[in-house]
């Protein structure tokens, strides 16, 4: 076995030995039922080959990782206009916090906290039906991943719609500041469906090739947008644990409460990790540790 394959096997074994899984997201009923003792990593390298360990063909809810794709689609559509409505600064507050919205008059700090993602989806939705905006996000993901076998799980979206009081509060608060162009419930419905997209780690790692600038990647997005997405992943991709993640891993990453992490090693690899149990920041508990192990064993860091 080559050294990358061996490193992945070692990480897989260690994660299972440690058996320290955390709990799946409790506030989304469909996700609360997922068995926590699951783990997968897929790594696509510059030559286009994909190495995986664990349940790499099992679709999981990408949740906030979808915010990267929604951001790219929105930048492709309206470019820098987005930044009049959303900032580009990390926060020390939780992903679903409302606090900074009050101090900054309804302008979310970055496109990866929930409020910022709701505004981004609202911008993508403008002048269209939710199904058209969702088709654009799904189409972009499928093109980036190189497969059409990627779908939205409507039960997960409905489950979040029923229980998403916090996100409803955020959307209506944004609307009160005039920072939503559509009916808040229409924007929220689109956002919940975007978060309910399911992918395997293999598909997710494939979708990150263009972000990593790999030669095997299809040219689906502009180089500038790829760079900017990476910058935001590095500074804001793990919410109030982004500094810690940069310190331990040193690579741009985006987490989701489904337990996934998309990790980019520029010009070297695109990596997807999944383990559904979360830590206190809402990031994958075992997945975060696995990311640090992988960065250490490969020497991949942007620093």
The residue among 136 and 160 lying less far from ligand GLN, judged by its C-beta, is 160
The residue among 90 and 282 lying less far from ligand GLN, judged by its C-beta, is 282
The reply to whether 257 belongs to the active site is yes
Per the residue annotation, which of 53, 239, 270, 275 is the catalytic one?
A: 239
The reply to whether 191 belongs to the active site is yes
The reply to whether 173 belongs to the active site is no
The reply to whether 239 belongs to the active site is yes
Distance in Å, CB of 156 to ligand GLN, minimum = 9
Residue window 116-155: x/- pattern of binding to ligand GLN, with contact defined by CB under 6 A:
----------------------------------------
Express the helix, strand and coil content of the chain in percent, nearest 5 each: 50, 10, 35
Whether the Cβ atoms of residue 201 and residue 273 lie closer than 8 Å to each other: yes
Residue window 247-286: x/- pattern of binding to ligand GLN, with contact defined by CB under 6 A:
---------xx------------------------x----
Element (H, E) at 265: strand 260-265
Phi, psi (deg, nearest 5) at residue 185: -70, -30
Cα→Cα distances 272→120, 122, 200, 296, Å: 23, 27, 9, 16
Q: Which of 10, 96, 104, 158 binds ligand GLN (CB under 6 A)?
A: 96
- Per CB under 6 A, 167 contacts ligand GLN: yes
Whether the Cβ atoms of residue 36 and residue 21 lie closer than 8 Å to each other: yes
The reply to whether 67 belongs to the active site is yes
Cα→Cα distances 17→21, 41, 201, 248, 272, Å: 11, 16, 21, 21, 21
The residue among 25 and 214 lying less far from ligand GLN, judged by its C-beta, is 25
| Residue numbers 28-67 binding ligand GLN by CB under 6 A | 63-64
Total number of residues that touch ligand GLN (CB under 6 A): 11
Residue window 202-241: x/- pattern of binding to ligand GLN, with contact defined by CB under 6 A:
----------------------------------------
Q: How is 147-185 classified by DSSP, letter by letter?
A: -S--EE-HHHHHHHHHH-HHHHHHHHHHHHTT--SS-HH
Instruction: Determine if residue 114 is left, alpha or beta; phi over 0 gives left, psi from -120 to 50 gives alpha, anything else beta.
Output: alpha
User: What residues are annotated to the active site?
Assistant: 64, 67, 191, 239, 257
Give contact residues for ligand GLN (rule: CB under 6 A): 63-64, 95-96, 114, 160, 167, 195, 256-257, 282
């Amino acid at each position: 076995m080559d050294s990358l394959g061996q490193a992945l096997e070692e990480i897989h074994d260690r994660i299972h030995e440690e058996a320290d899984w955390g709990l799946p997201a409790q506030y989304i009923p469909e996700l609360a039922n997922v068995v926590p003792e699951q783990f997968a990593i897929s790594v696509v390298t510059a030559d286009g080959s994909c190495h995986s360990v664990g349940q790499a063909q099992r679709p999981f809810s990408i949740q906030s990782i979808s915010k990267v794709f929604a951001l790219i689609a929105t930048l492709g559509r309206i470019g820098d206009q987005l930044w009049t409505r959303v900032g580009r600064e990390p926060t020390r507050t939780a992903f679903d916090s409302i606090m900074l919205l009050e101090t900054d008059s309804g302008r979310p700090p970055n496109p990866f906290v929930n409020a910022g993602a709701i505004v981004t989806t609202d911008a993508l939705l403008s002048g269209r039906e939710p199904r058209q905006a969702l088709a654009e996000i799904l189409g972009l993901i499928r093109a980036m991943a190189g497969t059409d076998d990627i779908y939205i799980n409507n039960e997960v979206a409905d489950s979040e719609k029923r229980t998403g009081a916090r996100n409803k509060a955020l959307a209506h608060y944004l609307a009160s500041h005039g920072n939503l162009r559509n009916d808040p419930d229409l924007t929220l419905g689109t956002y919940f469906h975007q978060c309910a997209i399911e992918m395997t780690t293999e598909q997710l790692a494939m979708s990150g090739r263009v972000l990593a600038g790999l030669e095997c990647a299809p040219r689906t997005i502009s180089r500038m947008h790829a760079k900017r997405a990476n910058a935001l992943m590095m500074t804001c991709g793990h919410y109030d644990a982004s500094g810690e993640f940069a310190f331990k891993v040193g690579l741009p990453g985006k987490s989701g409460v489904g337990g996934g992490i998309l990790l980019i090693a520029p010009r070297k690899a695109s990596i997807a990790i999944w383990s559904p149990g979360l830590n206190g920041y809402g990031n994958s508990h075992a997945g975060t540790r696995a990311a640090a192990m992988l960065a250490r064993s490969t020497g991949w860091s942007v620093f």
